[in-house]
Structure 1
Amino acid sequence: MNKTWWKESVVYQIYPSSFKDSDGDGRGDLRGIISKLDYLAELGVNVIWLCPVYLSPGADNGYDISDYYAIDPQYGTMEDFDELLLEARKRGLKIMMDLVLNHTSDRHAWFKESRSSRDNPKRDYYIWRKGKEGLFPNNWESYFSGSVWEHDTETDEYYMHLYSKHQPDLNWENEEMVEELFRMVHWWLGKGVDGFRFDAIAHIVKAQGLPDADNPQHLPVVQAYQLFSNLEKVHTLLHKLNDRVLFNYDIMTVGETSGLGPEQALDYVGDERHELNMVFQFEHMNLDAASPGTGKWVSKPWTLLELKNVMSRWQTVLHDKGWNANYLGNHDQPRPVSRFGNDGPFRVESAKMLATFLLTLEGTPYIFQGEEIGMTNVAFDLIDDYRDVETINYYKQAKLLGKPQDEVMKAIWKKSRDNARTPMQWDDTANAGFTTGEPWIKVNPNYPGINAAAATADPQSIYHYYRSLIALRKKHPVIVYGEYKLLLPLDTEIYAYTRALNGEKLLVILNFFDGTPEFTWPEEPGRGKDAELLISNYDPVPGEDTGVIKLRPYEARVYLLG
């Protein structure tokens, strides 16, 4: 077994705009992050994943980079970034950058040159095509709705953008452009960053010839993800990046790779592949989508059997062959306690249960800011209070299609990316202590009761439960490296599994709902009598039958069996 620091780490994701504002301009910044490093060190995490802080016009909250070598002034200066690296190291914290290699901003110097004329040397840094008889070059649909093609009047051609029209896709067929990206990655590693999360990395290669997707309904644009997702040449390019740059540093890498299962993931993270350390999978994030064709805005209830099936496949297929990146929420997803738990009467219990789940699976756990205090989804009444481009585009399109206002807003309340992007709730003062100014997006109104100051002061809080789980993970190698085995695969309320390593076994029992199901102990050892309860989100029941446990709503227990 190959033991490494990044397998044993716990990652904390920071969305800089919403974490902590130090200068009162209403947007979080690097100095704000520096001021909260002690908070993160006390939580026990090892790595900070920093969402983009590069120079950007902000069309997609920093994921539209206009200069890879510069810090956006709204976040501070390069000197502030260097200080962040230094102060993090003093506390034993590493910094992982978020890097977008699929596209740039339309204000990047490369794109300005590329669009200036058809024979500009940087024209082929991006993907340009002529229209077909007054139509788009092909029928692919953007992730943010509408065609992936935008007409540019300067040269009377179309450029491709899988995301916003302000995020033109780079052309990875152009070797000169690829070399420039490699030099940039090397530059950041030379500064001392400890790794990268590669945004949308599965999309850097498009199908040869950019053919139309099958379109039996003859729609103007159709989903064509199979034509620009996880194509074979992605692996050739990632292997080259690893061989030329990444391999020379002791870093962690994780790729955003939607649309694949664990067998395909091994092509990225297999120990012999030399591409990435791990990838973010999206199968469990799609369990509440009504169907693949309706997108994320049309929902259905997820089921525990579906969740077990997805997570168990990833746990078993990757064991001893690759490594998992485990998460329940991030900057693009709803709050886990609102999605998989109960953000009402059992908010605390369910948040602790989900934390137990996240931190006892095999793989590196990723905590998104605010999860450790149980932050919830937000329900703004007005679309004008939302900032996410994907949400706003959906609202406009849904209204054009005549969907009822309440139906549209309910979908947004459930799935908008802004659920995760409301400001971090630090205390019960104005704007949750996030800023002394006007926040760039409104604070969730529930901050007086849900905030870090209250959580750190309460020894029974979600925050301190996370601290205990992280400490256990550091103490017991079985939690990091143990082999996963699912128990009770057909139980619709209880998710239970074991982790085993070198004769030591962990038993995890999770009640995912508000009922009181019974869990019957496995035959050994001693039907629970010899087991050590490492952690639970409830106090023990005096005189409890060790053979059969009546679980309480959202109860979580972790036992050491030997």
Structure 2
Amino acid sequence: MQKAWWKESVVYQVYPRSFMDSNGDGIGDLQGMISKLDYLKELGIDVIWLSPVYRSPNDDNGYDISDYQDIMDEFGTMKDWEQLLKEVHNRGMKLIMDLVVNHSSDEHKWFVEARSSKANKYRDYYIWRSGKDGKEPNNWGSNFGGSAWEYDEQTDDYFLHLFSKKQPDLNWENPVVRKEIYQMMTWWLEKGIDGFRMDVINFISKVEGLPDDEVKPGKKYASGSKYYRNGPKIHDYLQEMNKEVLSQYDIMTVGEMPGVTPELAKLYTDDDRHELNMIFQFEHMGLDNGANGKWDLKELHLKDLKANLSKWQTELEHSGWNSLYFNNHDQPRSVSRFGDDKQYHRESATMLATLLHMMKGTPYIYQGEEFGMTNVSFASIDDYRDIETLNFYAEAKEQGQSEEQIMASIYEKSRDNARTPVQWDDSDNAGFTSGEPWIQVNPNYKKVNAKQAMEDPGSIFHFYRKLIQLRKQYEVVVYGSYHLLLEDHPEVFAYKRTLGHQELYVICNFYGKPATIDLDKVSGGQLLISNYKETETKELRPYEARVYLVENQR
């Protein structure tokens, strides 16, 4: 068992645009973030993951970077950022930055030069192809809808963009591009950051020739993802990155990797392979997707979630490491998605937290999750800001879907569910800004906010604090092995963690009705935490969660 600080840490993701505004312009900023560091320290956070704050035209909320070594004006200055890093470190916490290097902004100086002429030295920094019979070079679709190719009139060529057309893909085949990226990464690490979260990092290697893919019925474009997810040179690139940069520092690295399996995850995260510490996988996030993807709504079945999370727990038992999450800036709020944000708001939010935080891996908390922020249902599509959501709305309208049907999908799955401003208190705009917020505040801020949660000893916030303390107090929570219990129970997710003579029993009723189990078989010992006050009942109440510690004889 190799111990590491990042295995023992709890990470908190800050999406700066929606976190805290210090100057009244309606946009969260670095000084606003500094003002809330004591709050994060009180929660018990070890590591802050800061979503992109680099210079950007903001086509995809900062994930389209025009200068990797400068700060977006709306967020502040490099001096503000340096103050943030210092204040984070002063409180004994660490800071990791987002690394977005599958693509840049089309306003990055490299791309401005690249599109100026085919002979320009930056031309090969990006992926260019001539059209086929007056059409795109291949039939791939963008992850944000539409074609993955954009025609550039000036040079009569198309460039590849797996996301927005303002996010051209970088050409990792070019060693000069890789060298530029490694130099930039080193520059940030020398400034003192503690690691990177790497955006869609398993997309950087494309199959040679960029072949056509099969177009599914009813679709205009093919996915193409089998030709760029986990591509042929991905491990070469990551091992090179590790050798040139990552191995030189005591840092944490996590790669966002859609479409990855446990077998691949082991290759990416095995210590002996010298690539990354851990990855974000998305399998459990797709369990409530219908046949046509995320906007096609389907109910989550507990047996599927049990099978999936348990597979990842057991497959990465001896090799690699898991990241644990239900929420981030791209996912709807988990209490609305998997719980009950009305009748059993507190109970379901704390049950989901227990289920996740007691597993093996590094837990991630997304801003507002710790006091139960929920999905939002804006009255009009005009109130939404997310490019993926707006593209879906336009395409679904074109296909003849009803307004009611489209908005139902958006209310469930839009990324803007995660991006409404953090609800700090019950004052105007939830205490986020004194101005007009860049996106509307969720109207439930009067009831759901951090101030109220901090003042209530029985709140979701204080439950999260306790979960974080337990991880620091009991090594079995971090390093214990995992074993699924009650596999066929239709309502209960229960598992056991074992380390030495200690056994941890985690029992969660996943639904809003009582559940019956033989508690004698899965409990006994000391009750470490529960989300109900009276705990000696024989049946589990709606969304009840309990954790027992059993000390066996040595």
Identify the residue that residue 40 of structure 1 maps to in structure 2. Answer: 40
Letter in 2 for 1:554: Y
Identify the residue that residue 476 of structure 1 maps to in structure 2. Answer: 474
**Counterpart-to-counterpart distance in 2, 1:523 and 1:441:** 49
1:540 to 534, 542, 549: 534
Report the CA distance between 1:351 and its aligned residue.
Answer: 0.3
Report the CA distance between 1:151 and its aligned residue.
Answer: 0.3
Report the CA distance between 1:232 and its aligned residue.
Answer: 3.1
**Counterpart-to-counterpart distance in 2, 1:474 and 1:140:** 46
The number of equivalent residue pairs is 551
Contact 2:215 2:223 in 1 (8 A): no
Identify the residue that residue 238 of structure 2 maps to in structure 1. Answer: 238
TM-score, normalised via structure 2 length: 0.98
With 8-17 and 261-270 compared, the bigger mean Cα shift is at 261-270
Letter in 2 for 1:98: D
Identify the residue that residue 505 of structure 2 maps to in structure 1. Answer: 507
Report the CA distance between 1:8 and its aligned residue.
Answer: 0.2
Residues 306-385 of structure 1 mapped to structure 2, 5 A cutoff: 306-385=304-383
% identical aligned pairs:
57
Contact 2:216 2:222 in 1 (8 A): no
Report the CA distance between 1:461 and its aligned residue.
Answer: 0.4
**Counterpart-to-counterpart distance in 2, 1:27 and 1:217:** 42
Residues 444-523 of structure 1 mapped to structure 2, 5 A cutoff: 444-521=442-519, 523=521
**Counterpart-to-counterpart distance in 1, 2:337 and 2:94:** 30
Report the CA distance between 1:214 and its aligned residue.
Answer: 2.6
Report the CA distance between 1:491 and its aligned residue.
Answer: 1.0
Identify the residue that residue 125 of structure 1 maps to in structure 2. Answer: 125
1:108 is aligned to 2:113? no
Letter in 2 for 1:181: I
Contact 2:67 2:108 in 1 (8 A): yes
Find the residue that maps to 1:489 and give its secondary structure.
coil
Identify the residue that residue 551 of structure 1 maps to in structure 2. Answer: 540
**Counterpart-to-counterpart distance in 1, 2:49 and 2:168:** 25
1:561 is aligned to 2:529? no
**Counterpart-to-counterpart distance in 1, 2:112 and 2:102:** 17
Report the CA distance between 1:219 and its aligned residue.
Answer: 5.6
**Counterpart-to-counterpart distance in 2, 1:346 and 1:62:** 35
Letter in 2 for 1:441: I
**Counterpart-to-counterpart distance in 2, 1:117 and 1:343:** 54
Letter in 1 for 2:542: P
**Counterpart-to-counterpart distance in 1, 2:286 and 2:540:** 28
TM-score, normalised via structure 1 length: 0.97
Letter in 2 for 1:556: A
Find the residue that maps to 1:447 and give its secondary structure.
helix
Letter in 1 for 2:174: N
**Which structure 2 segments of 5+ residues have no match?**
none
Letter in 2 for 1:458: D
Identify the residue that residue 387 of structure 2 maps to in structure 1. Answer: 389
Find the residue that maps to 1:561 and give its secondary structure.
strand
Residues 408-419 of structure 1 mapped to structure 2, 5 A cutoff: 408-419=406-417
**Which structure 1 segments of 5+ residues have no match?**
none
Report the CA distance between 1:515 and its aligned residue.
Answer: 1.4
**Counterpart-to-counterpart distance in 1, 2:218 and 2:312:** 36
Find the residue that maps to 1:275 and give its secondary structure.
coil
**Counterpart-to-counterpart distance in 2, 1:152 and 1:295:** 30
Report the CA distance between 1:135 and its aligned residue.
Answer: 1.1
Letter in 2 for 1:386: Y
- Deviation track 1:229-269 (CA, whole Å, cap 9, x = no partner) reads 01131111000000111001000000010112211111111
Find the residue that maps to 2:267 and give its secondary structure.
helix
Identify the residue that residue 211 of structure 1 maps to in structure 2. Answer: 211
| Runs of 4 or more consecutive aligned structure 1 residues displaced over 3 Å after TM superposition | 215-220, 521-524
**Counterpart-to-counterpart distance in 1, 2:162 and 2:215:** 18
**Counterpart-to-counterpart distance in 1, 2:528 and 2:485:** 19
Residues 279-294 of structure 1 mapped to structure 2, 5 A cutoff: 279-291=279-291, 294=292
Identify the residue that residue 27 of structure 1 maps to in structure 2. Answer: 27
1:169 is aligned to 2:169? yes
Report the CA distance between 1:321 and its aligned residue.
Answer: 0.6
Find the residue that maps to 2:318 and give its secondary structure.
coil
**Counterpart-to-counterpart distance in 2, 1:441 and 1:109:** 30
Find the residue that maps to 1:272 and give its secondary structure.
helix
Report the CA distance between 1:215 and its aligned residue.
Answer: 3.7
